Amino acid sequence: MKNNNSLSNLEIGCITFFLTRCSYIGVTISLLAFLLKQDAWIGFLMGIIIGLIPLIMYLYIIKYKPDFNIFEIIESLFGKVIGKILIGIILVLIGYYTLMVFANVCYFIGSQFLHQTPIIVIAIAFMIPIVYGLFKGIKIIGRVSILLFIIAMILIFLLLIGLIPSADLNNIKPIFEHGFLNNIKDCLVFIFYNVLPLFVISVIPKDKNNSKSFNKYVIIFYLLSSFISLSTLIIILTVLGPDLAILYQYPEFHVLKQAQLIGFLNRLESILSMQWSFSFFITISVNLYFIVTAIKREVKKINIEKPIIVLLCLLLVIININILKNNTLGNEILLKYLPPFMLVGLLIVPFIIFIKIVLNSYKEKHISKS
């Protein structure tokens, strides 16, 4: 990997866009539909609003020392020993989440597109561009994310106009059947899977010249991604209905089979679903960059970036093939065991960091006044 080149705010914004969208395939939408049925879109909307809280907390942490990445910030706040423990917790969690995302994409492609192709072939085919991208560096991933963002927006636009005529608003009635409190409780699904993973942007080197608009870009792209995902969820509920959305594995893909453009273009699901593979690619790449940066910090003198990247990717493939043997097991781990880990690693730990920064800032102000 080349030396870190800073990414522009637009590049980080596009990365944020894809990071937010990644888990909505096969995870957030299916889970929300199961929990809230026709009110899933309300839970999603609440999740978008409440999700701003952890996001703003992350941005506050990033802004504490703009020249430092998150590992340097943690060690400067807590010292080397406790800092390394906290970093270790976060790294394990990010690695766990990356494994789940990778397993999700392999199951999705293996069950809906290439059902006769061995999973290992899909896994290797997906890993090769990720390895190559990581070899080239985060700057290249940033530039690629802009291109993919443009293509994704075109595909999303086509998806929406192809499905809106089939929507029946009666399918989302009655509204608020499950009550306000249940919607609040279940909106945590969106926060766990779509907002907390945004913590990885704390490792990306930022453009110091435009640091003032960094927060604005991240929030705007987060909201853009979330509202696009929300509109897709509404389309799924209004076209398929909540019961079919629960029955189908990957209802977001099955609803695309009903998309029709200009009255005669159909069978577009394979093209329109390409935009999800962009999310998976960017998410896995950035997560692995996060882990590699942390390891590289510890082993400073030897140039081990590329071997670490290859090793991590091989580890992902091997665990995916051998341990997560079927998607029933994968779903159980993803839905049952991942959220508590996410809570600890990506909410409680950042919250501790946040509190420490606030206390430090208060002390510094107090000292400067006296």
Partner 1 sequence: MKYKILISLILMFLLTGCWNYRELNEIAVCTGIAIDKDDKNYVVSVLIANSKKPEVSSKEGEAQSSIYVGSGETITSALEIIDTKIPKELYLAHLDTVVISKDVAKEGVYKTIDFLLRNPNSRRQFYVVVSKEKKANDILKILSPLESFPSENIATNIQSSLQVESSIIEIKYNEYLKTLLEDGIEPVLTSVSVIGNTTAGEKIENIEESEADTYIKLDNAAIFRDDKFISFASTNETIAINMLTNRSKYTSLNFKCGSSYFVIQISYIKTKPKVKVVDDKIEYTFDVVTNASVGEDNCNMDLTNPKVIDNLTNQTVRQLHTILSESINAFKYEYKSDVLGLGQILYRNNPKYFNQVKDKWDSIYPNVKVNLNIKVKLKTKGAAENTVRGYLSEKQ
- Using the rule CB under 8 A, is 244 a contact of partner 1? yes
- Of 3, 115, 181, 326, the residue at the interface with partner 1 (CB under 8 A) is 115
CA-angle at 188, arms to 183 and 190, nearest 5° = 100
- Using the rule CB under 8 A, is 243 a contact of partner 1? yes
Q: What is the DSSP string of 287-331?
A: HHHHHHHHHHHHS-SS--HHHHHHHHHHHHHHHHHHTS-SHHHHH
The residue range among 76-84, 110-118, 220-228, 344-352 that interacts with partner 1, by the rule CB under 8 A, is 110-118
- Using the rule CB under 8 A, is 144 a contact of partner 1? no
- Using the rule CB under 8 A, is 121 a contact of partner 1? yes
- Using the rule CB under 8 A, is 329 a contact of partner 1? no
- C-alpha–C-alpha distance, residues 183 and 185, integer Å: 5
Q: In this structure, are residues 57 and 357 in contact, taking their beta carbons and an 8 Å threshold?
A: no
- Of 3, 81, 170, 370, the residue at the interface with partner 1 (CB under 8 A) is 170
CB-nearer residue toward partner 1: 132 or 337: 132
Q: In this structure, are residues 199 and 285 in contact, taking their beta carbons and an 8 Å threshold?
A: no
- C-alpha–C-alpha distance, residues 309 and 34, integer Å: 37
Q: How many CB atoms lie within 10 A of CB 257?
A: 12
CB-nearer residue toward partner 1: 170 or 303: 170
CB-nearer residue toward partner 1: 211 or 258: 258
Phi, psi of 283 (to 5 degrees): -65, -50
Q: In this structure, are residues 304 and 84 in contact, taking their beta carbons and an 8 Å threshold?
A: no
CB-nearer residue toward partner 1: 243 or 364: 243
- Of 50, 52, 89, 114, the residue at the interface with partner 1 (CB under 8 A) is 114
Q: How many CB atoms lie within 10 A of CB 342?
A: 23
CA–CA distance from 323 to each of 107, 125, 235 (Å)? 13, 19, 35
CB-nearer residue toward partner 1: 174 or 322: 174
- What are the respective helix, strand and coil percentages of the chain, to the nearest 5? 85, 0, 15
- Of 240, 316, 338, 353, the residue at the interface with partner 1 (CB under 8 A) is 240
- Using the rule CB under 8 A, is 247 a contact of partner 1? yes
For residue 49, what are its two tokens? 């609003």
- Using the rule CB under 8 A, is 125 a contact of partner 1? yes
- Using the rule CB under 8 A, is 112 a contact of partner 1? yes
CB-nearer residue toward partner 1: 131 or 291: 131
- Of 50, 52, 92, 124, the residue at the interface with partner 1 (CB under 8 A) is 124
- Using the rule CB under 8 A, is 182 a contact of partner 1? no
241: left (phi over 0), alpha (psi -120 to 50) or beta: left
- Using the rule CB under 8 A, is 231 a contact of partner 1? no
- Using the rule CB under 8 A, is 336 a contact of partner 1? no
Classify the C-alpha dihedral 206-207-209-212 as positive or negative. Answer: negative
Encoded amino acid at 286, one letter: V
x/- string (CB under 8 A) for partner 1, residues 283-322? Answer: ----------------------------------------
- Of 173, 301, 366, 369, the residue at the interface with partner 1 (CB under 8 A) is 173
- Of 267, 306, 363, 365, the residue at the interface with partner 1 (CB under 8 A) is 267
Which chain residues interact with partner 1 by CB under 8 A? 111-118, 121, 124-125, 128-129, 132, 170, 173-174, 177, 240-241, 243-244, 247, 254, 257-258, 267
